[in-house]
Amino acid sequence: MKQRLRTKVWWPKIDKDAEIFVRNCKSCTLVSAPNPPNPMKRRELPVEPWIDVAIDLMGPLPSGDFLLVIVDYYSRYKEVKVTKSVTSNDIIRLLKEIFSRLGYPVTITADNGRQFISQ
């Protein structure tokens, strides 16, 4: 931007004035490049199985079904459940079914899908 400005006009301290103008310009800050995301942190390996798990939904598949996938961070063990509906009640039912066999994990990581954060 400063180079383009210099092709049209010039005055002493033009670079500094341009930087101050852009820094204080609301429109300029809205369209400027966003800050790069923070680097991903490495997840510490749990000390035993079924302490930390991740859950996510996949689908809809061509059949119209969805998959609820749970992965144990320690062992990489996967549980996959097929469901026709992804309402919170259906997801709770599937999770209860899995947790009744394997126990409750200490932490569950999800992507904030509406099924996982619903009241």
- Flag whether pLDDT at 119 surpasses 70: no
Written as one letter, the residue type at 78 is K
Q: What is the pLDDT of residues 34-86, one digit of tens each?
A: 777 888 888 889 999 999 999 999 999 999 999 999 999 999 999 999 999 99
Strands 52-58 and 107-109: parallel
Residue 80's DSSP bridge partners are: 69
